[in-house]
Amino acid sequence: MKVRVDVMLKTGVLDPQGEAVRHALGNLGFDGVETVRQGKVIELEVAPGTSEDTIKEMCEKLLANTVIENYAIQVL
Could you tell me the residue range of the domain that residue 54 belongs to? 2-75
Interatomic CA distance for residues 65 and 18, integer angstroms: 17
Query: For 30-72, how does the pLDDT look when each residue is reduced to its tens digit (9 = 90+)?
Result: 999 999 999 999 999 999 999 999 999 999 999 999 999 999 9
Query: How is 9-73 classified by DSSP, letter by letter?
Result: EPTTS--HHHHHHHHHHHHTT-TT-------EEEEEE--TT--HHHHHHHIIIII--TTTEEEEE
pLDDT value of residue 65: 97
pLDDT value of residue 67: 97
Interatomic CA distance for residues 46 and 66, integer angstroms: 22
Total number of domains constituting the chain:
1
| Domain CATH number, residue 37 | 3.30.1280.10
